[in-house]
Structure 1
Amino acid sequence: MTPAHDNEVTRPVAASPGEPGGQDPAVRAEAPAERPAERQTGGVPDGPDPTAGASAVVEEPSQPQRIRRPADAFKFAASVAGVAGVLLLVNIAQGTTQGLQTDIREGTERAPHLLLSLATLVSSFGVLAVPVAFAVDRLLRREGLRVAVGLLAAVIAFALTVALDGWEVPAAPGGVLDSLIWGGSQTAPLHTDITPVIAFVTAVRMTGRPRWQAVTWTMIGLAALTGLTAQYASVSALVATYCLGRAIGYGTLYAVGTPNPRPPGTAVLVALRRLGLRPLRARRLPDLNEVRRYDVAVEDCERAGHPAGERRLEVTVLDRDQQTAGMLYRVWRLVRLRDRSTRRAVRSLRRSLEQESLMAYALHAAGVRTPRLLGTSEVGTEAALLAYEHAPGRRLAELDDEELTDGFLTDLWRQLEVMQQARLAHRRLERDAILRGEDGTAWIVDLRAGEIAATDLQLRLDLAQLLTTLALRVGAERAVRTAVEVLGVRTLATAVPLLQRVALNRDTRAALRQDRGLLTRIREQILRLEPEIEVAPIRLERFRLRTIVSIVALTIAAYIVFPQLSNVDIGGLVARAEWWWIAVGAAGTVATYLAAAWMLMGFVPERLPLGRTLLVQLAASFVKLVAPAAVTGVALNTRYLQRAGIRPGPAVASVSASQLVGLAVHILLLVLFGFITGSTDNATKNLAPSRMIVIVLLAVAVAAGIAAAIPPVRRIVADRLRSMFSGVVPRLVDVLQTPRKLVTGFGGTLLLTAGFVVCLDASIRAFGGELAWTAVVVVFLTGNALGSAAPTPGGLGAVEGALSVGLTISGLPAETATSAVLLFRLLTFWLPVLPGWAAFAYLQRKEAI
């Protein structure tokens, strides 16, 4: 038995369910004598009197008076997005919005004047009178706190609307204002007479009172209509006002909280009696995945001729307000994954109850060892319960290592085999869904996400999930070995393409952060048994998070770069450009590919052909169009080394060694030339650093110190460095034993920087500019560092912005600096794309990458 919670209270069933915990009177559970028993068959006797067991008590912690509903936060975010969407729409489609306003004005001119005047009179009085009447009604019903929350939302809405009206008129773009208000009108874009009413109505919650809702929103609609007919409001302004009022109302509700509608344990026992059960006592268990659980003892009347005994049930309670918990995450998974293998994002209480019930009955009918479902019932209007037979045992997360015997693991795989044959997918085979009985057998629990008539993909996802869950506890070798004994190698091999983090549940992905190589070890264990299977992972994602970041970053980059281009006379610059210096810049670009090939060859003890290695570096110029440059170079070079016969571990170590040395040389050169450019006394060759270099170095040092003082950040950095040096240092030692390799590697690193500096300097001189070569070096090193850190393909936006600013600060005219940067990026980024594509296609045809 799980220890009782702190701050427990013991409640008799006879107590009113609405009393403790501040329950809403509208959802109090009815006493059994007040309504007929609503029975559902589920293997329970029909005979017991539903009023029996009235002396039963419930041990559970005191429930909070108010709760924050996830749905309120979601609706608040949606309303704020609506305001932003209106502002964006009226800025983009100004002609459309103004045309719509003109059509409305012409249409209202034909409407009967008397009717419009009557609507104006009714709305002017009713828009305030109806909410006031509702507030008085709530006060008479002793719901003053609800009215107070609504008034708070109205006050916030009024103050915010006035503040926004005062700020938006001078600050907003003229096109936005013209669309929000009528042409040259001096009225405010947001309306202080409607916004507070909408906020009040939202925060006071009229749900369940349809007549009040209908009258209130009719008055608000009439007020909006009169604003349109009187030509002091526009459609866009009214939509923005509505979204703002709703946002303030939902935001206030989420901040203050709403009365707790969850029925207490006493109401749960009342519902159990309606199922024909006789509860004796109940105790609240720790919540599992945001679901309430109770350990309930009921009378056992099945033994005829013997005194009545007792048996234990585990009762799961689904609360309506928790059905929206995790909605944003489910929406994200639904949009992100290609296959419709995710649960539906929006779930009703009835849908959740039916889904779990159906899965429980299907598993029991198939012969899977799972607790038997005795019955289901609603608990008031805000919850529902599922009563299961108690399965004595402990969950996988609570088991000691010695309890995870091969017999238990084998039995667990047998349960999965039965599920797979019946085409039942569990969808959450994590540590909380697996139970070890007192006799050492395996049980399957937590059926909320289950699916009947599952697809092949869903069944394979279950297999991959359980493999990973067990491997996290017993290791990859034991998990695979026990699975093969039951399922066979061929079945287990079908999970190999799905052993990827995106295919697993959220808690499992979090656990894999502590052991990033686990999935690889599971694949290797399976491949040793079945080496001829196809191991290419299935593409489950429609897009990656990195893609979204890249799109946003590219948008920002375009916003930065395009204004620069608009101020540049491209034709005039081409006519004035000195082609000799352009040729020098192109030669510097070619040298960078040769340098990159030497750099890789120098840190690989094995012999690599220069020609093919050079083509790989050229192919990287094509691949970096779709990913950040720092990522594509590493991935492509690692793939090339593996195809060349180098094992994965040494291949990764070689590429990491070249990258680490390149980073170290880059930092040393930046510091060195930063000191040189700081020289202000040429006669004494003073090498004092410039003030800007000192500020940058101090800022970096302070940021590093703050990061080192944060334990999680310190651990992450230490783990990354440890994993990097664990393979890189031995590889560097191998290189140091061969002077020729050492010269090739370090020479390629220096030549790479020199080639880019020559190209940038030639691009400056091509347009008549001239800078000290030390300044050019510093500007390039700084821009290249920012470009490597940027999430955009090839550092787009970041490199252009950094180089342009750096050259301008160094003394070049803005027009010359922009032209030089554009030429430099043309030579180093855009022109190599086509030959890079040809090299990429050739290497793929030759199976070199």
Structure 2
Amino acid sequence: MSLHPGESGAAAPAPVPVEEVPPQREVLLVDAPETRVRRPSDLLALLACLLGIGFVLTLAVYANATTQGVTQDVQSVVADVLRQVLLIPVTVLEGLVSFIVPLVVLVERVVRRSWRSAAEALATMVVAVVLAAGALWLLDHIAPREISRGLTITSEGEVVIALNVYIAGLAGVLTAVGDRSHNRMLGWSWNLLWVVLGLSVVQGDQTLPGAIVAVLLGRAAGLGMRYASGVLHERATGPHLVRGLRRAGLDPVSVVRMDPLLSGTHAQAWRVTSYSPIGYTERLREPSQSTNNGQQENVAPATPPDRTDTIVPDPTTDPSQVLQEVSSSATKTLDVESAHRLYAIWDVEGRRHDVTVLDGDRHVVGMLASLWDSIRLRGLDRRPATNLREAANRAALMALATKDAGVRTPELVGITESRDSVLIVTEHVPRAKRLSELPPAELDDDLLDEIWSQLQAAHAKGLAHHEVSAESILVDDEHHVWIVDWENGEIISSELSRRMDLAQLLAMLAVLAGTERALASAARTLTRDQLASIAPLLQPVAMPSATRAAAKRETLASLRGSLVSLIPTADVAPIPLARFAPRTVITLTLAVVAVWALLSWMNFEEVADAVTSANPVWIVVAFALGLLTYVGSAMGLEAFSPEKLGVWRTILVQVAASVVALVAPAGIGPAALNLRFLNKRRVSTPLAVATVGLVQLSQLITTVLLLVAVALVTGSAGTLSAPEGSVITAVGLVLLAVAVVLLVPRLRTWVWQRAAPTLRQVWPRVVWVVSNPGRLLMGIAGNLIMTAGYVAAFGACLAAFGHSLPVTNLAITYLAANSIGAAVPSPGGIGPVEAALTTGLTLAGIPAGTAVSVAILFRVLTFWGRVPLGWAALRYLQRRESL
């Protein structure tokens, strides 16, 4: 059987005369077999339930008085006497709901022969009960009492947690069976459940938070089961699909699914016999109707009572052969918001049309994508369609507006709704190819100019496309340009939207035809002002995903540079389209983690006691001495860098490192920030890594030399006690391991292979620094200033509490304790550094209580207290594109 006996153009179908009896039609349908689907909306609802549980438990902790007050207010609505009167009927109602509701639901599933659904409902009930029982055990044995306090009631003189596991199981059953909007019995069951819960709260058998948590746990179990197992969808398939096409005004004989989600191995062929009316018709279903004069007037029913639409498999048709036959001319002309079903249909006169089917269970994906774009981009009207009808209406309105503007785009033939789907029928563009499918030889100048002209025609009527890419432009067999996929556009567009269309088209043509030809075609079509307005929008965030994947940053930068050459007055500074960049998200994440670490570790009472009992003069001195470390660190980086960095900006980078140090192990965060700073200053990554490594190595060597010099000058090696035998043993074992590595050839080779690249990078930098005495002295001076600043600040904190140590002891105590604490891989050394400083001071003879206060004060002044400065410096450097 031929699928398209006389395929001609894509003219609109002729009006079908309304007949008293709809014509019978046998339709060939090639489609995927009906399967269960995983609805994204179920997953989102599951996440919402989990968030709801967290929110209720948070209220139980931080608004315990409020939740208890609400529960008491609910209970006070019914007086004690009235509660006693309602005791018996309420008890009976609870029993009926607890027993009858799940029984009726399961029996209804069995009667419908939905054995799988009944089994899933029972399994969900078990899972929900287990979840609720586990939550009850956690709240009773592990969770803090602050969480369970808002869920407790007094029963028979004992305080118990009011979390009804059976209510959770019942909510799980009702959720797993389906949506209440599609089943009236489920709606009544949910209403009865809420009534029983409300009465339980009134009687004092439940708390309001406990009842909500139980239902949310059951809902989470049911939604998880639905998403894991899938549900029977409500999409328009089979006879419903054919019936919807006939309602749209078509009389199809062949319907073939064409979207990429369908492959020939999964397709099946059916024969659908339909008696549905063609077009939107309103007919009475009664066989007869009385007129005013008493006579009977026969009115034909929409479908004869003895004839219903049927579908049977077609074993004589090979689906693979059908798909192969029509694939050469199959063109997708409408793709609304996400991956929707696409069909090619042929009517009784042999005309071909394209159909896009929007399914309600998939609409949430497109809505979330549009919502993300509206949040991510500024200056654009990207309001997402909240429901399926709104998305279809928007697509139809854009199709009519673009056609009226004179843009060559497929004409809207019909649109209708069937079950939980919307069918959009458009004319077919015969033998058309997408622009990305054309060979380079066919991309001549006339074609490029026509693309610009078509887009300009839309802009002249105030329309904007928003997604101009090689996938949204078709070229027919007569080499004419068609622009499709207008459904996400604007009818009343802003200037920014139209400028973005031009920028997207220029970038796309630069990828396909080259920068020079793309700019030449734009110059032939656009005005000087329009060309100048494109440059600021040539940035990745403004490009569709397909263009962004194909065009590199260098391509966009080359286009901006070429536009400046053509128009010297063009403003090439990018317009900030993104509301937030990835680095902003990272920075905010760092701040949140830092604040969380601060709140979880610090004992604010101890900090307050330490600060208030210390001498305020020495506190100011310690803070000022700590700031000198920024100068020393900046001097070291400036000295060893191959490029001139600028002392002031380098100092700000070291200040900004105070924020990064909060969430990275000691030394790693500042080193990473210095590496990024060097990269921004056009220092290659290998050279930047070598420079940062040399800075850290010089700091270590300077610290050791400083300790030796202090010991020699003071004539003392300090008064700290000698290392214990365990320490000497550990040092001996380390030396033994080094000797083994050096003696065993394989180990020596393995170590060298991993250390050699770093040494090869650092060694030339060492030679370069040694050959520049000025830089070497500057680096050593910077390291001395940094180390001396920390030691002096540590001594000032000690003096704030009326104690002092010899310089050597002070230096050894600080440097040893800080090194030991920093060796523990914790963010910013939080915890280990404070403990090591306290231990070092105690070993040096400082009382334990004072040692704790000194350690806390020192860390507040040189670590936590500098975070606001680091945050301000980081934001300043980011705005100046220095980081």
TM-score band, normalised by the shorter chain? 0.7 to 0.9
Residues 1:457 and 2:492 aligned together:
no
Amino acid at match of 2:400: Y
Give 1:45's match in structure 2, choosing from 4, 8, 14. Answer: 14
Give 2:834's match in structure 1, choosing from 804, 825, 835. Answer: 804
Task: Give, in whole Å, the separation in 2 of the partners of 1:284 and 1:266.
Answer: 14
Structure 1: segments with no counterpart, 5+ residues: 1-9, 14-40, 301-309, 642-648, 695-704, 706-720, 791-796
Helix, strand or coil: the match of 1:653? coil
The residue number in structure 1 matching 2:407 is 368
Helix, strand or coil: the match of 1:169? helix
The residue number in structure 2 matching 1:593 is 631
Task: Give, in whole Å, the separation in 2 of the partners of 1:203 and 1:673.
Answer: 67
The residue number in structure 2 matching 1:528 is 565
Q: Describe the shift of the 1:583–1:555 C-alpha distance in structure 2 as closer, same or farther (beyond 3 A).
A: closer
Range 118-127 or range 681-690, more displaced: 681-690
Q: Describe the shift of the 1:670–1:782 C-alpha distance in structure 2 as closer, same or farther (beyond 3 A).
A: farther
Task: Give, in whole Å, the separation in 2 of the partners of 1:559 and 1:226.
Answer: 41
> After superposition, where does 1:156-235 map in structure 2 within 5 Å?
156-182=127-153, 185-209=158-182, 211-235=184-208
How many residues are paired up? 746
The residue number in structure 2 matching 1:32 is none
Please list the CA deviations of residues 433-461 of structure 1 after superposition, one character each: whole Å capped at 9, or x if unmatched: 22233344432222331221112232233
Residues 1:546 and 2:572 aligned together:
no
Q: Of the two, which has the highest radius of gyration?
A: 2
> After superposition, where does 1:771-782 map in structure 2 within 5 Å?
none
Amino acid at match of 2:14: P
Contact 1:67 1:258 in 2 (8 A): yes
Q: Describe the shift of the 1:667–1:441 C-alpha distance in structure 2 as closer, same or farther (beyond 3 A).
A: farther
Q: Describe the shift of the 1:105–1:392 C-alpha distance in structure 2 as closer, same or farther (beyond 3 A).
A: same
Task: Give, in whole Å, the separation in 2 of the partners of 1:229 and 1:246.
Answer: 23
Contact 2:251 2:347 in 1 (8 A): yes
Task: Give, in whole Å, the separation in 2 of the partners of 1:338 and 1:110.
Answer: 58
Helix, strand or coil: the match of 2:475? strand
Amino acid at match of 1:314: D
Please list the CA deviations of residues 707-749 of structure 1 after superposition, one character each: whole Å capped at 9, or x if unmatched: xxxxxxxxxxxxxx9xxx9xx99x9799779735753675477
Task: Give, in whole Å, the separation in 2 of the partners of 1:533 and 1:802.
Answer: 56
Task: Give, in whole Å, the separation in 2 of the partners of 1:748 and 1:117.
Answer: 88
Task: Give, in whole Å, the separation in 2 of the partners of 1:474 and 1:533.
Answer: 23
Q: Following TM superposition, by how much is the alpha carbon of 1:266 offset from its aligned partner in structure 2, in angstroms? A: 5.7
Q: Following TM superposition, by how much is the alpha carbon of 1:534 offset from its aligned partner in structure 2, in angstroms? A: 3.8
Task: Give, in whole Å, the separation in 2 of the partners of 1:687 and 1:773.
Answer: 25
Task: Give, in whole Å, the separation in 1 of the partners of 2:738 and 2:138.
Answer: 40
Q: Following TM superposition, by how much is the alpha carbon of 1:256 offset from its aligned partner in structure 2, in angstroms? A: 0.9
The residue number in structure 1 matching 2:354 is 314
Amino acid at match of 1:85: F
Q: Following TM superposition, by how much is the alpha carbon of 1:297 offset from its aligned partner in structure 2, in angstroms? A: 2.9
> After superposition, where does 1:144-543 map in structure 2 within 5 Å?
144-182=115-153, 185-209=158-182, 211-264=184-237, 267-287=240-260, 289-300=338-349, 310-339=350-379, 341-344=381-384, 347-506=386-545, 508-509=547-548, 515-543=552-580
Contact 1:786 1:802 in 2 (8 A): yes
Task: Give, in whole Å, the separation in 2 of the partners of 1:326 and 1:292.
Answer: 14
Residues 1:104 and 2:143 aligned together:
no
The residue number in structure 1 matching 2:273 is none
Q: Give % identity.
A: 25
RMSD in angstroms over aligned alpha carbons? Answer: 5.0
Q: Describe the shift of the 1:443–1:216 C-alpha distance in structure 2 as closer, same or farther (beyond 3 A).
A: same
Please list the CA deviations of residues 334-364 of structure 1 after superposition, one character each: whole Å capped at 9, or x if unmatched: 44444453232x5311111111111111111
Amino acid at match of 2:67: T
Task: Give, in whole Å, the separation in 2 of the partners of 1:786 and 1:508.
Answer: 46
Give 2:64's match in structure 1, choosing from 94, 97, 108. Answer: 94
Q: Following TM superposition, by how much is the alpha carbon of 1:56 offset from its aligned partner in structure 2, in angstroms? A: 3.7
Contact 1:294 1:316 in 2 (8 A): yes
Q: Describe the shift of the 1:210–1:839 C-alpha distance in structure 2 as closer, same or farther (beyond 3 A).
A: closer
Residues 1:603 and 2:647 aligned together:
no
The residue number in structure 2 matching 1:646 is none
Helix, strand or coil: the match of 2:77? helix
Amino acid at match of 1:523: R
Amino acid at match of 1:461: M
Q: Following TM superposition, by how much is the alpha carbon of 1:216 offset from its aligned partner in structure 2, in angstroms? A: 1.1
Q: Describe the shift of the 1:57–1:255 C-alpha distance in structure 2 as closer, same or farther (beyond 3 A).
A: same
Contact 2:172 2:221 in 1 (8 A): yes
Task: Give, in whole Å, the separation in 1 of the partners of 2:729 and 2:670.
Answer: 46
Q: Following TM superposition, by how much is the alpha carbon of 1:154 offset from its aligned partner in structure 2, in angstroms? A: 1.4
Task: Give, in whole Å, the separation in 1 of the partners of 2:15 and 2:685.
Answer: 73
Q: Following TM superposition, by how much is the alpha carbon of 1:547 offset from its aligned partner in structure 2, in angstroms? A: 4.8
Give 1:142's match in structure 2, choosing from 81, 91, 113. Answer: 113
Q: Following TM superposition, by how much is the alpha carbon of 1:689 offset from its aligned partner in structure 2, in angstroms? A: 4.2
Contact 2:635 2:647 in 1 (8 A): yes
Q: Following TM superposition, by how much is the alpha carbon of 1:225 offset from its aligned partner in structure 2, in angstroms? A: 2.2
Q: Describe the shift of the 1:806–1:353 C-alpha distance in structure 2 as closer, same or farther (beyond 3 A).
A: farther
Amino acid at match of 2:586: R
Task: Give, in whole Å, the separation in 2 of the partners of 1:810 and 1:297.
Answer: 87
Task: Give, in whole Å, the separation in 2 of the partners of 1:76 and 1:352.
Answer: 25
Q: Describe the shift of the 1:471–1:817 C-alpha distance in structure 2 as closer, same or farther (beyond 3 A).
A: farther
Give the TM-score normalised by the residue count of structure 1. Answer: 0.74
Task: Give, in whole Å, the separation in 1 of the partners of 2:413 and 2:71.
Answer: 61
Helix, strand or coil: the match of 1:296? strand
Task: Give, in whole Å, the separation in 1 of the partners of 2:625 and 2:123.
Answer: 70
Please list the CA deviations of residues 633-664 of structure 1 after superposition, one character each: whole Å capped at 9, or x if unmatched: 9999999x9xxxxxxx9932279955651245
Amino acid at match of 2:136: D
Contact 1:73 1:250 in 2 (8 A): yes
Range 105-114 or range 195-204, more displaced: 105-114
Q: Following TM superposition, by how much is the alpha carbon of 1:242 offset from its aligned partner in structure 2, in angstroms? A: 2.0
Give the TM-score normalised by the residue count of structure 2. Answer: 0.72
Contact 2:353 2:427 in 1 (8 A): yes
Q: Describe the shift of the 1:840–1:11 C-alpha distance in structure 2 as closer, same or farther (beyond 3 A).
A: closer
Q: Describe the shift of the 1:128–1:103 C-alpha distance in structure 2 as closer, same or farther (beyond 3 A).
A: same
